[in-house]
Chains A and B, each alone.
Chain A
Amino acid sequence: MAGLAIYLVFVFIAVFADQIATHNPTEILFTPDYDLASDIPPGQDGFILGTTSLGRDIFSQLVYGTQSALLIGLTAATMVAVIGTLVGLVAGYFGGVVDVILMRLADIAFGIPFLPFVIVLAAFLEPSIWNVVLAMALVLWRDSGRVIRSQVLTLRTRGYVEAARVAGSSDAKIVFRHIAPNVLPLSFLYGSIAIGWAILTEASISFLGFGDPETISWGTMLQDAYASQALSRGAYYWFIPPGICIILVVVAGFFISRGYEEILFPKLKS
């Protein structure tokens, strides 16, 4: 419940960002005395969380950052869940050569260091928040795919599936009518964990400078703060809030589909 509540709040903020934000997040602001509004501490001159070194409003950036965070999180989660589920279903149900090929691909995906891969991909493509989504779609289906495959393998031997096959149901019908509904909770679980992963990865990539400089995200805010020496100046109001937002969204993701059980009770061998 707490997870859902946090999500609703963030979704609300993302949808009504225009109304909630006090300033344009990318606009360079000036004080009433026509000085550049740089490094203004929180609360002063109507800047709730102060301003960045370039005179941008931190609170408004935080509000707009919610949009990209949710956008990336949800699309990446959908991709990971859909691809993983399809791979698991196909490999598990049809077996044979298809299974061997898909599982060898999963082995390869397990051998690819994820973050370095995103970095290389980001350098190869135009800077964009979608690189993270693409990289996750290319690599992170491996976990959900493997787990769902083994689930399908056990489901396949169940009586009602056998019965459907004997009764002459088509493969497609058996897979989607009888097997898929039983693996959906797993897809959902991996999807909800992927939300957090995507947001964390986007933050890392932006922090390293491979993000889209045009898009406001919590990651680019942190990068900006780091590069502008906010740490040595003790400008905690700049770099603490984005981190807290990330934590809240990711933790809410754990709780929403009871994904925290997966995290609280990890199992190495399934």
Chain B
Amino acid sequence: MTSLRYIGSRLAQLLFVLWAVATILFLLFRLMPGNPLAAYIDPTFTEEQQAALMARFGLDRPLWEQYFIYLANLLQGDLGQSFFYREPVGERVLALLPNTLVLTFTSLILAYSFGIVVGAYLAWTRGSIVERATIPLVLTTRAMPEFWLGMILLAVFSFSLGWFPAGGTRPPGSEYGSLLALYTSYDFLLHLTLPALTLAIYSLGLPLLLMRSNMLDVMAEDFVTMARIKGLSTWTVVVRHAARNALLPVTTSFAISVGYQIQGNVVVETVFSWPGLGRELVKAVSASDYPLAQGAFLMIALVVVIMNLIADLLYGVLDPRVSHA
């Protein structure tokens, strides 16, 4: 009962945050200096044509009325029309979302699998040369501009060695029947490798260091000592007891990382010309395509708040001390 109430209150909070973000965005874009349609309006347009356009986008109404129309439209999933593409923003954003999600999840799964194993290993071999060499390296990945890493990988593996394509998701001119067909193709894998690797290296630090510090804590716990006194194998002690306990907060951090990564994707998608939400946002802002920028931003914000919520709930589900209270 209490957990249901908790989920309820967290959901209410989520809606509140989304509303606030949407409002901030509305104000930002409407209060922006200059005519929001500047990019849309051809200099040859007559006064009447301009006025008609203003009316079509609802820009001739008072601000508060625009705001309620905006909110009402948002509730129906209507994100408006893109100035540039002259098509519904919602459709465009939804079409790009899978690309961003595939890139994000691939890189994070890579980072977490590797980070968890290496983090546990580093904790187990505390004080070794390997550990002393790895820690500064990991700190460096945390201090690195991710797009710069992408640039280096691009220069080396794409331009210099020619192993991987320089950008996009598929060879020019190729067509695939469905998203699934695209995502399972070898070409896609080739295109995915460098951007996913860039993001994976960049996001490796959190799971690795989190796992390491949790392992160090857990290994000092009595139950790990007891597992050794029980004569259980090193594997059982380290993996089944120490790592299993250390893993709880790391798993939770995965959801937070998804939310975090999706905003950081912006630069890496741009470096690799990856047709995702982040790159679209950059393009839309550059082209003053405000409805599209707004839509992409809201979609990213939605992923962020949902992932934060999942992280919260996951913590309760995974830890029996919380879920079986």
A interface residue numbers (CB < 8 A to B): 104, 107-108, 110-117, 119-121, 123-124, 196, 200, 203-204, 207-210, 219, 222, 225-226, 230-234, 236, 239-240, 242-243, 246-247, 250-251, 254, 260, 263-269
Contacts and interface: CB of A to CB of B under 8 A. Distances in A.
A115 B210 contact: no
Given A108-B17, A234-B159, A203 B148 contact: yes
B266 A111 contact: no
A119 to B, nearest CB: 6
A247 to B, nearest CB: 5
* Chain B interface size, under 10 / 10 to 19 / 20 to 34 / 35 or more: 35 or more
Given A203-B148, A242-B148, 16 more contacts: A108-B21, A108-B24, A111-B301, A112-B304, A116-B266, A116-B296, A208-B270, A219-B145, A225-B151, A226-B151, A232-B159, A236-B155, A254-B143, A264-B213, A265-B209, A268-B252
A231 B140 CA distance: 22
B17 A107 contact: yes
Nearest to B250: A268
Given A116-B278, A207-B267, A240-B152, A251 B139 contact: yes
Contacts of A123: 285-286, 288, 293
Nearest to B264: A115
A209 B144 CA distance: 19
A204 B139 contact: no
B50 interface: no
26 contacts: A108-B21, A108-B24, A111-B17, A112-B304, A113-B262, A113-B301, A116-B297, A119-B266, A119-B285, A123-B285, A123-B286, A204-B145, A204-B146, A209-B286, A222-B147, A231-B159, A232-B166, A239-B152, A243-B152, A246-B143, A247-B140, A247-B144, A251-B140, A264-B212, A266-B253, A268-B249
Residue of B16, B32, B155, B210 with most chain A CB atoms under a 10 A cut-off: B155
Contacts, number: 159
B160 interface: yes
Residue of A203, A231, A233, A260 with most chain B CB atoms under a 10 A cut-off: A231
Contacts of A236: 155
Interface in B241-266: 249, 252-253, 256, 262-264, 266
